[in-house]
């Protein structure tokens, strides 16, 4: 939970003249929470900082005058000093001598200037854009959130965690612009949680571009490898008046975000029900503690269906297990009757036509797997599962332990639905990828338990399996390491 706090902080040496040597004192949970209340992963977690220093990120500061926001901004400026800009409407009122001269009639102009400054920074690809306004209401934040989406920035909302941030009297005393008490009280009444459309794990722009290229290349390779797969998808692409090569593409999505993400918890539009969803989810203390933190993961394969092209994810880190809010057992949507079966599969796989592409890996891509996997999913089990529930497995041991079924990297059970949407067919929602992932998991399971022969292609990098009716799975022999950031997406 607090793995970004250095061990030297967690364990304090206590010297005693009466006793020789050193005693080790472990801080209790309340002390840890107090330490965390004064910190954020974006300024305290070394792994997170290292990742964000090479990522396009927009820090949306949020808090009333005097709450400690400026202190956080100064820390962010020092940490992300190589490429940063601070955009603040207050700067409009500072003259050439550094004197702050506030003019209420110019507030609108000041915010327009601030928004333009932020957009100019996005166009220049400045890595860290710090929006240093109070950002109390969603309408105040929306212009910046839209720019972040348009230019491929990850948004992290940063609020002070000071114990006086909701105390109007202390805020009046501490703010440097002499904001009167009645104004602070009025702003406090407007201060409500910023409810995201969903929480997710976001890749940066560079990794998103790489993963998409990998997904499209494997899609093309699968079409060459399995002629029946190509015929199945060509039949569908003709109905949609599009080439089979462009059938599954991000360009077919109604909304085309610049960066990839894995949805961790869907909240939806701002309604009473969604606000309750947010309240219940945010009640998990780890959610607020982990916002903005980097969560490493792996792409272990790709799924191809007539509707979607998805990347299958594995997150060995328990932090992700604790915040996972998706339903892994949600029923998939029914297939359309236009899908064909695989009675005429052509086993003449053309391995010679496979595209040989350079690829980038590092030693982080080695994953420890487990041989003993418990497939029973107890509905009353804790959200954080045991090590036995690690999702990436090399082997399943059935009830009859004398019979071992070995296969490459399937995922099922808790967190099995974790994915990236790399492409969809025309008129298909990106949310369909999750349904398709569930369906492909069932096809894997049925194929194994029924011992059904499945057309397969094996090369030095992948094992591809064709399940018929336009369904194919690409298993990666060496997973692709990714770094994701846990944060919200706001519409």
Sign of the Cα torsion 265, 269, 272, 273 reads: negative
pLDDT in tens, 86-113: 999 999 988 888 888 888 899 999 999 9
Cα separation of 299 and 314, whole Å?
A: 6
* pLDDT of res. 329: 73
- Angle, vertex CA 108, rays to CA 189 and CA 147, nearest 5: 90
Both tokens of 468, joined, read 């018929």
* pLDDT of res. 412: 63
Count Cβ atoms within 10 A of the Cβ of residue 203 and give its class: 0-12 exposed, 13-18 middle, 19 or more buried: buried
* pLDDT of res. 1: 37
Closest listed residue to residue 73, CA positions, set 91, 60, 64, 90: 60
* pLDDT of res. 272: 83
Both tokens of 219, joined, read 């899609």
* pLDDT of res. 331: 63
Give the 3-state secondary structure of residue 413.
Answer: coil
Could you tell me the domains of the chain?
Answer: 53-166 (3.40.50.300), 201-264+293-330+366-376+386-489 (3.90.1740)
Phi and psi at 474, nearest 5°, equal: -105, 115
Cα separation of 450 and 251, whole Å?
A: 38
Closest listed residue to residue 486, CA positions, set 165, 45, 35, 10: 45
Cα separation of 181 and 185, whole Å?
A: 6
Instruction: Give me the tens of pLDDT residue by residue for the chain, a chain 491 residues long.
Output: 334 333 333 333 333 444 444 444 454 444 444 444 457 999 999 999 999 999 999 999 999 999 999 999 999 999 999 999 999 999 998 888 888 888 889 999 999 999 999 999 999 999 999 999 999 999 999 999 999 999 999 999 999 988 899 999 999 999 888 888 999 999 999 998 889 999 999 999 999 999 999 999 999 999 999 999 999 999 999 998 999 999 999 999 988 889 999 999 999 988 888 888 888 898 888 898 899 999 999 999 999 999 999 999 999 888 898 999 988 877 644 544 444 333 333 333 444 444 444 334 444 444 443 333 333 333 333 333 332 333 333 333 333 433 333 334 455 678 889 999 999 999 999 999 999 998 998 888 888 888 888 899 999 999 999 999 999 999 999 999 999 999 999 87
pTM: 0.79
User: From the centroid of its chain, how far is CA 203?
Assistant: 6
Both tokens of 163, joined, read 């114990």
- Output DSSP code: residue 393: B
User: From the centroid of its chain, how far is CA 45?
Assistant: 17
Cα separation of 7 and 5, whole Å?
A: 6
Packing angle between helix 138-151 and helix 107-123, nearest 10 degrees? 20
């Amino acid at each position: 939970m607090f793995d970004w706090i250095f061990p030297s902080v967690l364990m304090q040496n206590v010297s005693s003249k009466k006793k020789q040597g050193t005693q080790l004192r472990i801080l209790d949970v309340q002390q840890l929470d107090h330490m965390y209340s004064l910190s954020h992963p974006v300024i305290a977690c070394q792994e997170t900082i290292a990742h964000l220093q090479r990522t396009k990120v927009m820090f949306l500061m949020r808090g009333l005058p005097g709450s400690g926001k400026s202190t956080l901004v100064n820390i962010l400026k020092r940490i992300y000093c190589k490429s940063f800009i601070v955009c603040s409407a207050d700067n409009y009122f500072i003259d050439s001598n550094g004197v702050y001269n506030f003019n209420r009639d110019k507030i609108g102009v000041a915010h327009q200037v601030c928004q333009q400054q932020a957009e100019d920074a996005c166009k220049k690809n400045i890595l860290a854009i710090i929006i240093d306004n109070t950002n109390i209401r969603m309408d105040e934040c929306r212009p910046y959130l839209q720019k972040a989406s348009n230019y491929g920035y990850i948004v992290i909302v940063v609020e002070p965690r000071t114990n006086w941030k909701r105390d109007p009297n202390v805020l009046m005393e501490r703010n440097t612009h002499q904001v009167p008490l009645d104004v602070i009280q009025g702003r406090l009444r407007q201060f409500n949680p910023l409810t995201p459309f969903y929480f997710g794990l976001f890749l940066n722009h560079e990794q998103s571009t790489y993963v998409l290229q990998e997904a499209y290349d494997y899609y093309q390779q699968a079409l060459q490898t399995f002629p029946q797969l190509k015929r199945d998808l060509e039949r569908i692409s003709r109905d949609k008046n599009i080439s089979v090569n462009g059938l599954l593409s991000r360009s077919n999505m109604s909304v085309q975000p610049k960066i990839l993400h894995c949805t961790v918890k869907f909240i939806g539009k701002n309604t009473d029900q969604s606000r309750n969803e947010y309240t219940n989810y945010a009640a998990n203390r780890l959610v607020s503690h982990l916002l903005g933190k980097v969560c490493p993961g792996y792409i272990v394969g790709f799924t191809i269906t007539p509707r979607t092209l998805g990347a299958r994810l594995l997150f060995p880190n328990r932090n992700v297990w604790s915040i996972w809010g998706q339903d892994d057992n949600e029923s998939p949507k029914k297939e359309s009757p236009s899908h064909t079966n695989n009675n005429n599969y052509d086993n003449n796989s053309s391995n010679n036509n496979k595209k040989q592409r350079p690829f980038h890996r590092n030693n982080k891509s080695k994953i420890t797997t487990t041989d003993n996997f418990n497939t029973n999913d107890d509905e009353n089990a804790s959200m954080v599962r045991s090590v036995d529930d690690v999702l990436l497995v090399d082997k399943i041991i059935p009830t009859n332990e004398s019979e071992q079924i070995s296969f490459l990297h399937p995922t099922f059970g808790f967190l099995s639905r974790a994915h990236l949407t790399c492409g969809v067919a025309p008129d298909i929602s990106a949310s369909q990828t999750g349904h398709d992932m569930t369906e492909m998991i069932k096809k894997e399971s049925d194929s194994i338990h029924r011992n059904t022969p499945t057309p397969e292609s094996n090369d030095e990098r992948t094992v591809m399996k064709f399940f018929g009716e336009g369904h194919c799975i690409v298993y990666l022999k060496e997973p692709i390491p990714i770094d994701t950031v846990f944060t919200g997406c706001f519409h």
